[in-house]
Chains A and B, each alone.
Chain A
Amino acid sequence: MQSAVYRQDSNHDRADAKLDPQNVWLWRFGPRRLEAEVIRDSLLAVSGLLDAQMFGPGTLDADSRRRSIYFTVKRSKLMPTMTLFDAPQALVSQGRRISTTIAPQALLLMNSPQVRNYATGLAGRVTPQEAAGSEHVVNRLYEITLGRAPRAAELAAAVAFLRQQSEAYQQRQSDGHRPTEEAGEIALVDLCQAMISLNEFIYVE
């Protein structure tokens, strides 16, 4: 762990990438997918819903807002969100955590009521008090979820999405469908859900 290779950062370098696109020669620390527990904890953290209370008994409640380490490991009742992202089944010891990419993981981020709830929480954190404009909202979202400012193209794409999605919801409202929230708010939740589904959120570099 003291080696220069192990300690190098994960910063991307175009010149190096050109020489060794697959990072075979380890010119940087490769991207890694977050582990199941960390994914869920990160979702809770950015949504502002995380209950940071420490210690005390564990739980089998999938809707718990505490960190995933507080899930009770019951061998006959596994936590679907955890096993979906390759948490071992805890029946036997496991020397190494594997990492898979399967469609049910995407389904969870797209459709799970819990994830929608996290996205709603995140939207609540970035909704401007007064109309500060959608650019401000997108900037703030990038800061919270990815720890950086959006690039021009990203900013443009997100702003355009908010406008189009919001118009689509307004159209539905006028067609007689009546979502409970305002069209703009729903569109923002949709954007928040997209942000927490990004590769850049799920993978660390």
Chain B
Amino acid sequence: MDSQTTRFDLTRRQLLSRCGMGAGMLGLAGILQDERLLGAAANAATAGANPLAERQPHFLPRAKSVIWLFMNGGPSQVDTWDYKPELAKRDGLKLDGLDPETGFFRDAVGGLMKSPFRFRQYGECGKWVSDLFPHLSGHVDKMAFIHSGYTKSNNHSPALFMMNTGMTRMGFPCAGAWVTYGLGCESNCLPSFVVMSDPLGRGVPKGHASNWGTGFLPSVYQGTWLKPAGEPVDNLKRHEVMTDAQQRRQLDLISQLNQQHLEDGRNAEFDLAARVESFELAYRMQTAAPEALDVNLESDHVQKLYGLDNEKCAPFGRQCLIARRMVERGVRFVQIYSGGMANQASWDGHADIVGNHSGFAAETDQPIAGLLTDLQQRGLLDQTLVIWCGEFGRLPVAQTGPQPGRDHNPHAFTAWLAGGGARGGVSYGETDEIGFKAVTNRVSVHDLHATILHLLGMDHTRLTYRYSGRDFRLTDVAGNVIHPIIA
């Protein structure tokens, strides 16, 4: 049994949690001004009636929410944002010292291959960008580029887990789960962590639900995966036989009977009282969630901005627009995967890098540019951190075949951050002159995570959860905030 103090602690927390659910006890937060009573430490979230109650960050945040655009499969840095003229000069030459096991297909290692895409300079910062991104290239002055990213695996699932959880093994909490654990849920009728995957039937990222799981954190922190087909969220639609009035009468009966149960000496049982309120919240969610997902409520002008009138990019555009509608309504962490599960169904351009990357860039370029423009026009970009990355980069050598591609490369990838406190127009870190390995100011995935948490107002070394006898972090025992990319 818990000690007496723990029990008191629990009850206070439950009491406060009721405030987070929006009814009845709103005055209480003012009464319990003592910070210790308010349970500001994220550690306090292990139990209690509403573990999603909003919590204070460690310090003043730059970003309130995150939209993470995950280019699933591993986009090639040298064909997108990491311009390497030297690679063109050495086109066709053998890369000396290359371990043939670096990628995935040791028998298909070709010579160095120049980018088939043309690069030009854009923006005041003069950033070199390939022709893959005719729309995004107009936004380089908003982006902070990290060219020196590296990861720990050359295989999709472990690299996806690494990017999402900081560990290459499955079973650890994702960044979105950590953020929800640390900050709670701002919206009282929408989830805090939402994930969207490919809507064109090409599959989910490898490792499936582990990419939005909570590991050892309480299950409530797991991402809500919007199903790409059918009803996106379970149980939002009441049974067809019922009208609103009939459901309301049913909920009133539940509430009345629960109330009698409570008044029979159980008024102090906060779990039970919270459960009564959870039905009211659920009732509100039935209208709030479909409203947030309905992009048809947006003007023609906005829909066009995201490319909804263009068949090629409309599916991803719709997801980007949903993401904006969600962060606008208090959703904290949205992840959108571009591409489906395997090889040519994602950015995994083993064969035909031209066709593969051209296709996925065409699906995402205008929608992401539209998102950045729209966020800025609404004054949301300052408080919304937009992240673009994959799980790893690709090799500067060709993967041989009828139409050459590029194999996996854990030694270098490019990511960019925009908005939410990221410094626009800067490029941080460098790869070697052919884009093979990160060499200057190397950025680990832990560093990236530490920076994301920092922008959200959290010290990555203090966001801990005790499990299995020790305190765990998103950044394990590593991670340095990349201050030069922060505005």
Contact = CB atoms under 8 A, between A and B. Distances in A.
Contacts of B8: 24
A194 B271 CA distance: 19
A203 B285 CA distance: 24
A14 B268 CA distance: 12
B51 A165 contact: no
Interface string A110-146: 1111001000000000000000000000000000000
Given A101-B278, A112-B234, A190-B250, A24 B7 contact: yes
A83 interface: yes
Interface in B201-219: 207-210, 213-216, 218-219
A14 B209 contact: no
Interface string A76-110: 11101001101111011111001111111111101
A75 interface: yes
A91 B272 contact: no
B286 A95 contact: no
Q: How large is the interface on B (under 10, 10 to 19, 20 to 34, 35 or more residues)?
A: 35 or more
Given A102-B50, A113-B239, A190-B246, A84 B219 contact: yes
A112 B268 CA distance: 30
Contacts of B214: 89
Contacts of B105: none
B218 A86 contact: yes
Contacts of A191: 253
Contacts of B468: 92-93, 95
A88 B219 contact: yes
B282 A157 contact: no
B171 A92 contact: yes
Contacts of B28: none
B253 A199 contact: no
Contact of A102 (B4, B220, B238, B264): B220
Contacts of B246: 165, 168-169, 190
Interface stretch (B123-131, B255-263, B303-311): B255-263
B242 interface: yes
A110 B235 contact: yes
A144 B285 CA distance: 31
Interface string A1-18: 000011000001110010
B254 interface: yes
A139 to B, nearest CB: 15
B90 interface: no
Contacts, number: 188
B241 interface: yes
Interface in A154-185: 154, 157-158, 161, 164-165, 168-169, 172, 179, 181
Contact of A194 (B46, B210, B250): B250
Given A5-B1, A76-B209, A103-B278, A199 B261 contact: yes
Given A12-B265, A77-B208, A91-B215, A158 B253 contact: yes
A151 to B, nearest CB: 8
Nearest to A180: B241
Contact of A103 (B208, B242, B243, B282): B282
B257 A108 contact: no
A86 B218 CA distance: 7
A116 B239 contact: yes
A16 B467 CA distance: 36
B279 interface: yes
A99 B265 CA distance: 22
Contacts of B256: 157
Interface in B5-32: 7-8, 11
Interface in A50-96: 75-78, 80, 83-84, 86-89, 91-95
Given A12-B265, A98-B47, A154-B260, A107 B236 contact: yes
B266 interface: yes
A111 B239 CA distance: 6
Contacts of B261: 198-200
A106 B216 contact: no
B236 A106 contact: no
A172 B243 contact: yes
B228 to A, nearest CB: 16
Nearest to B220: A100
B276 interface: yes
Given A12-B264, A17-B268, A111-B236, 4 more contacts: A91-B170, A107-B286, A112-B235, A179-B241
Q: What 6 A-B pairs come out closest when comparing CB atoms?
A: A91-B171, A21-B268, A106-B282, A76-B208, A103-B281, A111-B235
19 contacts: A6-B1, A12-B264, A26-B1, A76-B209, A98-B218, A100-B218, A102-B52, A104-B282, A106-B279, A107-B236, A107-B286, A108-B234, A108-B235, A110-B251, A157-B257, A194-B250, A199-B262, A200-B258, A202-B275
